[in-house]
Structure 1
Amino acid sequence: MSAKKSVPFKPLNIAVLTVSDTRDESTDTSGGYLVEILNETGHHLADKKIVIDDIYQMRAVVSDWIASTNVQAVLITGGTGFTKRDSTPEAMLPLFDKVVDGFGELFRHVSYQEIGTSTIQSRAVAGLANETIIFCMPGSTGACKTAWGIIESQLDASHRPCNFVDQLKSVSTDSCADSRG
């Protein structure tokens, strides 16, 4: 039996999208949390935007990131509930080449320990599109913390037995230092 080769951490270029009809940069605590935690863990912020809960506006922003040669991962917060305006899963599912079923399943399992049966109202989803991993999570900061507890290791090349890093496009992280727009 051979020992597994150690792989070093590789910073990724990650874009953050907040879906909200009411938030702006000064009140976007969940998007702010995601930016803070991805920077703290050594990743690079490729871009950050806030869009209203509109399927076509969400798709336009995320499609640009998917087509970009600079974005490897997208974190989306908001629009995953059951209100009339919540439409993030409907916006993202058609863009996915492959759905990562385990993310939503695990998110709801972990969330159940925190909020009980209310977790059945979460439609957290994830998928791969053009070698870009996309995670869609609820809009509360608490839900983003729960989701990051799942996502973080999957965005770390050193995590074993597997992670998503080798499935993502290869890009230079140098161009992300000040590309927030």
Structure 2
Amino acid sequence: MITNIYLVRHAHSAYTPDELNRPLSSKGFEAAEKVAALLLEENINLIIASPYKRAIQTVEGLTKTLNLDIQIEEAFRERKLSENPVEDFENSIIRVWQDFTFIFEGGESGLEAQSRGAKAILRILRKYSGKNIAIGTHGNIMVLIMNYFNSSYDYDFWTTLKMPDIYKLSFDGEKLIKVQRIWKED
């Protein structure tokens, strides 16, 4: 039985240092409407999101039309890079992608983040077999999850993601059989 998971990277957000409550920008809200329109064509049965406001807001347009609530899943929150801001974000992110065991102080390694995300996906696959599930999440954790199932999804792939972006992962049981990008840019 095929289960489809739609990993939705959140739309553009208005920067605030408050990671949990950072909202979408006006541009992000416009894109979220397009996310809802695209996902309405996919016969979504369940909506799950990271607890971060921007991830929730990116998929919440589906809730009214489909009459579904959003289930919050802590495991889909973004990977915590470091306790404090890093001096050179680009080189820091490259470093954690090159070495999945490396951890900046107060952060989490790629292996830790990947493990929590993949475990959540596997639970969902067992519980909702045969369903179509939209998951509002974040770029880094999204690609770490994809990498768990297929190592070709890596740092270089992560750099190509848009805000928002949608990838449909089709599973036969717990085996990834197909990945398809369904986000259509203007």
TM range (shorter): 0.3 to 0.5
Give the TM-score taking structure 1 as reference length: 0.34
Output the TM-score relative to the length of structure 2: 0.33
